[in-house]
Chain A
Amino acid sequence: MKFVLAVVLLLLIQAANAEVDATSVDFKSQTITIALTQEPPQLNGMKATDQVSITILGHVMEGLVRYDRRGNVVPGVAERWEIDDKSATFWLREDARWSDGSPVTAHDFVFAWQTGLAPTTASEYAFILYPVKNGEAINRGEMDPSQLGVFAEDDRTLRIEFARPTGYFVKLTAFISYFPVREKFFKLKGDRFAADATDLLYNGPFKLTEWTHSASLKMVKNDNYWDRDKVHLNVINADYITADTRARLNLFIDGKIVHTRLDGETYKDALTQRFRIRRFSTGSVFFLEYNHRPERVTRNRNLRKAIQLAFDPNEMVNKVLATPGNLPGASLFPIWLNGVEDKFRREYPAPVSDVDVKKANQYLETAKRELNLESIPPLVMLSSDSPTAAKQSEYMQGLLKAKLGLDIKIDIQTFKQRLAKMTSGDFDMVTAGWGPDFDDVMTFGDLFASWNLNNRGRYSNPAYDSQVRIAMGSSIPKIRMDAMGELQKIIHDDSVVLAQYEQGVIYLMHPKLKGVVRRVIGADPDYTYARVVK
């Protein structure tokens, strides 16, 4: 009995402690605590590719421009700019400073972009710098980085020459690959650059002060930041690193973190806890990508058409995914993209084809005839190891078996392994997704151009390529959008991919924390303008 009492007491003390520790927000010190889904794998902006790194970098760094609370482009390091078809000029503000107090100069941008494109850096995002003159050639190793079309006319004037007209260039400069890097510091650190909190210089609203690997990070308001008056938070503690939605929900319930995403299971608990659930569209499109390599049966258009006509994205979104926020996939271009004046999808509605199993089977018969096959051999569907993806694949497997009699083998792989298999072409279909890198239709449009390395199904169609070239070669919105509209038609007619859904997420946010911005592009969630209210 004594023992039981002791245990109960111990638990009570712990509970009391938890009450005291429950400081996911603190009004007085303007401190918040968050959880990251993983440790940032790479905080070198030239090399980072993942969402966690992009989010951290978005808080501690700043490019020439940045996005405001409503997602509009506003001045960042650059005070003002001018842009035409051939070049752009940015004038840098005087009070832009690094965290060590030294000024951010035009040379820092020149150095960062040159290094980012150098083949030795092997940046996966190098292509995003291609609009800068000679960028592509430098990245291929055909030219010296010093020949890049970017010049520091003086410490505060940056001039860029374009490889081709790039109307959306200003928006690009908010991306991590365009962030500045101080040459002297970079060379001093060598291989250690961005390996630890002290191995990086910061010019953003926050700076990283502590980084205990695979345990926690701490971001503190950067007093050298030019726009520091707009930043209210003093400290952002990333004390937890876990992707487990249930563990994160428990942390949220215990008042340890300010934000967590919910999935198909955890939202039910959140509902019983009577939390306010919020919704957000991530801007990503998920689709079934086919392998178009010659030896694969999925190269046959009629087979792909058959699958297209048997699939109902509404059913997938409402019955299989069954969490709010997802939209049925209709096109490779999501609804939020801007067109000429209105949203792109309002100006160029996505072609629709209703489910028609009879017609689908006719296509299938034609495909078999063309392929000289009695029956279609089992198709390998590559899938990632997330619960949603597994469920999705099983649904597709059942659907294609029931409607078309196709046998599907599901190949579940980890993200990295799946990417490797996609690159080597070891699949017939793959459940893939694409998130935008910048605010322009081109971030989706050039995905299946024959030269794009992310076109892992090796789709190659001169008509597609020529439309991409038209859109790339012009800065007149109407011409570019018309080309993209054509592209949308080609993707549907040729069934290049099978659009499944546009991703939406539901999440919880601490009610005392206001002004957190959810973004389709860049740091998400963005705590830069957040404040703790009483």
Chain B
Amino acid sequence: MTDTTSFQPTHEDFARVKANLSIEQISRPSLSYWQDAWVRLKKNTRATISLYIVIALAAFTLLGPVFWQVDSSLQDLNQISQAPSLPKTAALVGAYKRWDGIILEDFPVEPEAYVESVTPVAELRAFEAATTQQVRLIWNPTVGAGGYNIYRNQRAPEDFNDLGLPLGSTYGGNEVSYEDRLSLESRDYYYSIVPTDGYDEYEVFTVTEITPRMIITVSDARDRNLISAGEEDNLGQEIRLEFHPFGTDYLGRDMLARLMEGARVSLFIGIVAPFIYVIFGIIYGGFAGYFGGRLDVLLMRFADFVVALPFLLFMILFKIAFGIGPGESGIFPMLVALILLLWPATARLVRGQVLQIREQGYIEAAKLLGAKPHYLILRHIIPNTMGVILVTLTFAVPAAIFTEAFLSFIGMGVAPPTPSWGSMCNEGVKTMLSHPHELIFPATFISVTVLAFNLLGDGLTEALDSRMRSRE
């Protein structure tokens, strides 16, 4: 310890101290509020992934149709309910020609006497090469038969009760042919013939396995521009059918094109409606909050009143009021109903924020310096509520998308043939077990979109909260 009494100050002790600038050096770049928020958002993996998904969705919706120019309402009846697959090929054939079948002249129509049992029919075979246009079966008659029932199964039948679909019957022991045209695909079919006495079946059957060849008629191929003018005579030639990467629906419409068009409807509602009602909510809430007092009470009671109005009822009322007939799109009344009924949530939130902010010291200071209300609102209050507003907006988007999907699902939204994700789900749910892709694709799109917007909203809440500004 230095003895204070023995301290002898020198001249150096009174020299001017140089400011140590290196201490005050700002080691990190100075960040504005938004820059900081962006930094924190980027650190949040979930939110970043969600952001990319949202961007990808926007690209899918806006740029998709440029690259995938397929009419979403064009029916391809050669490829109904196809699962996602690589392009298929089909043989070119001429137009369908009627076939009268085979009726034997030297065999009795009805047996002369009823017999207890008969032998199964012999030589069941295809009359000509089986195609997806028609399968023509012929067989030899069996003595005692007064007709035959024709069955079709997709696996080899195990016993008499496992013959599969009853396709049809012939009424006469001499009618020994049948033409099957029922939604044929290029796969293995097991055809069975059961002789009858004209009414009831004998419990014997004959099975044959037939695999039809995928074909397309010249006129279909021409309609779909699959062949050029010179190729029309090349019957039997394998041509490539239209490619459906996401498969087709129950009328052979391209799923990818439908999902893109559906996205347009869903995202249009999902973005436009919240955007408009959030802006309205800001103005309304800001007005109430800033001026306060009796005006505030009045305005907020009105907002409470609007909250109490039932959405679905108003949607229907608007539909009628706008004179939207059946078979026309209900998107516009849906938009109006969303805007007119959902703004109070934002208005309340903004009002609360404004009430809080207007009591802050810097507002007082600005007032004392002579700031006018509009300057205060625009310069100080609104920017400070921006965080809350953005978060509301990102949460409102999935809610609106979900509402649209739900209303289209129950048939109040788009009118056929326009697809939306909701209406596609409604159609897909009917064929859920046999053709799951018709439900899975639109349902996944709805879920992923809603989830992405929600996670993004979560990320934004954290990023925009000034109390959580990064301190590292």
Contact = CB atoms under 8 A, between A and B. Distances in A.
Contact of B417 (A322, A325, A394): A394
Contact of B251 (A276, A320, A401, A408): A320
Contact of B415 (A279, A315, A322, A410): A410
Interface string B34-66: 000000000000000000000000000000000
Contact of A409 (B164, B166, B253, B326): B326
Contacts of B167: 279, 324
B436 interface: no
A271 B158 contact: no
A186 to B, nearest CB: 40
Interface in A412-434: 412-413
Contacts of A274: 158, 161-162
B80 to A, nearest CB: 6
Given A394-B251, A398-B75, A411 B165 contact: no
Contacts of B325: 380, 409, 411
B228 to A, nearest CB: 20
B75 A322 contact: no
Contact of A314 (B165, B166, B168, B181): B181
B251 A395 contact: yes
Given A319-B77, A320-B251, A394-B251, A267 B165 contact: yes
Given A274-B162, A322-B182, A511-B161, A269 B433 contact: yes
Given A318-B182, A318-B183, A319-B77, A324 B417 contact: no
Given A271-B153, A318-B181, A276 B411 contact: no
A397 interface: yes
Given A268-B434, A394-B417, A410-B416, A278 B326 contact: no
A186 B80 CA distance: 56
A391 interface: yes
Contacts of B77: 315, 319-320
A39 B75 CA distance: 39
Interface string A306-329: 000000001100111010110000
Interface string B173-184: 000000001110
A478 B158 CA distance: 50
Given A267-B165, A395-B75, A411-B327, A324 B415 contact: no
Q: Which bucket holds chain B's interface residue count? A: 35 or more
A70 B200 CA distance: 12
A391 B168 contact: no
Contact of A506 (B166, B183, B327): B166
Interface in A218-272: 265, 267-269, 271
Contacts of A380: 325-327
Given A279-B166, A409-B415, A322 B183 contact: yes
A273 to B, nearest CB: 10
A324 B182 contact: yes
B164 A397 contact: no
Interface string B199-235: 1000000000000000000000001000000000000
Contact of A324 (B73, B74, B166, B434): B166
B287 interface: no
B384 interface: no
B154 interface: yes
A506 B251 contact: no
Contacts of A511: 161
A417 B293 CA distance: 53
B431 A265 contact: yes
Contacts of B367: none
A98 B253 CA distance: 59
Contacts, number: 94
A387 interface: yes
A319 B411 contact: no
Nearest to A401: B73
Interface string B143-171: 00000000001100010011111111100
B417 A398 contact: yes
A18 interface: no
A269 B432 CA distance: 12
B168 A324 contact: yes
Interface in A366-395: 380-381, 387, 390-391, 393-395
B204 to A, nearest CB: 15
Contacts of A269: 433
Contact of A398 (B73, B164, B327, B434): B73
B328 interface: yes
Contacts of B161: 274-276, 511
Contacts of B163: 276
A394 B77 CA distance: 13
A277 interface: yes
Contacts of B75: 395, 398-399, 402
B282 to A, nearest CB: 39
A398 B326 contact: no
Nearest to A507: B166
A249 to B, nearest CB: 11
Given A265-B434, A276-B161, A391 B327 contact: no
Contacts of B326: 380, 409-413
Interface residues of A, number: 41
B379 interface: no
Given A395-B251, A412-B326, A277 B433 contact: no
A265 B416 CA distance: 22
Contacts of A70: 199
Contacts of B332: none
A271 B415 CA distance: 34
Interface in B428-456: 430-431, 433-434
Contacts of A322: 80, 182-183
Contact of A271 (B154, B182, B183): B154
B139 interface: no
Contacts of B328: 409
B251 A268 contact: no
Contacts of B430: 265, 387
Of B96, B325, B416, B430, most buried by chain A (CB within 10 Å of CB) is: B416
Nearest to A380: B327
B159 to A, nearest CB: 8
Contacts of A395: 75, 251
Of A275, A318, A506, most buried by chain B (CB within 10 Å of CB) is: A318
A427 B326 CA distance: 11
Given A318-B181, A319-B80, A410-B415, A398 B165 contact: no
B314 interface: no
Interface string A283-312: 000000000000000000000000000000
Contacts of A411: 325-327
A409 B417 contact: no
Nearest to A395: B251
B250 interface: yes
A394 B181 CA distance: 21
A211 to B, nearest CB: 33
A324 B183 CA distance: 10
A513 to B, nearest CB: 15
A183 B251 CA distance: 56
Contact of A278 (B74, B153, B166): B166
7 interchain residue pairs of minimum CB distance: A409-B327, A411-B326, A279-B166, A322-B183, A398-B75, A276-B161, A318-B181
17 contacts: A70-B199, A265-B431, A268-B434, A277-B165, A320-B77, A322-B182, A324-B182, A325-B168, A380-B326, A380-B327, A390-B416, A394-B416, A398-B73, A398-B251, A402-B74, A410-B327, A410-B416
Interface of A: 70, 265, 267-269, 271, 274-279, 314-315, 318-320, 322, 324-325, 380-381, 387, 390-391, 393-395, 397-399, 401-402, 408-413, 506, 511
Given A315-B77, A395-B75, 20 more contacts: A268-B434, A274-B158, A275-B161, A279-B168, A314-B181, A318-B181, A318-B183, A319-B77, A320-B251, A324-B168, A325-B166, A380-B327, A390-B416, A391-B250, A393-B416, A402-B74, A402-B75, A411-B325, A411-B326, A506-B165
